[in-house]
Amino acid sequence: MGSTNRSTQRTASGLISLILCVLLAIACVGCYQLYTMKEAAIVTQNQLKEQLNEASVELTASQETIAKLQADITEEKNRNYDPVAKRMEFYQVAKQLEDAVLAGTAKCKIAYLTFDDGPYEATSMRFLDVLDQYDVLATFFLLGKNSDLHKEIIKREFYSGHTIANHTFSHQIRNGIYRSVDAFIEDVVKNRDYIQELIGYTTNILRFPGGSPTAGNLKDGIVARLQELGYGYVDWDAEDGDGKLINLSKDEYVENLFNTVHDQKLMVVLLHDYCEGTLEALPEIITGLRERGYIFLPLFYESNVVRKS
Cβ within 8 Å of residue 211, ≥6 positions away:
235, 236
pTM of the complete model: 0.75
d(CA 69, CA 71): 5
pLDDT, tens only, 1-19: 444 444 444 444 444 444 4
Q: What are phi and psi of 221, to 5 degrees?
A: -65, -40
The pLDDT score that the predictor gives to residue 50 is 63
Q: Is the pLDDT of residue 120 over 90?
A: yes
Average pLDDT over residues 17-32: 46
Percent with pLDDT over 90 in the chain: 68
- Candidate from 20-29, 93-102, 282-291 with smallest mean pLDDT: 20-29
Average pLDDT over residues 38-63: 54
Average pLDDT over residues 213-228: 98
- Say if residue 289 is exposed, middle or buried (CB neighbours under 10 Å; 0-12, 13-18, 19+): buried
Class of domain 83-296: alpha beta
Neighbours of 163 (CB within 10 A): 26
The pLDDT score that the predictor gives to residue 145 is 86
**Domain limits of the chain?**
1-79, 83-296
The pLDDT score that the predictor gives to residue 52 is 55
pLDDT, tens only, 133-169: 999 999 999 999 878 889 999 999 999 999 999 999 9
- Candidate from 125-134, 243-252, 277-286 with smallest mean pLDDT: 243-252
The pLDDT score that the predictor gives to residue 18 is 43
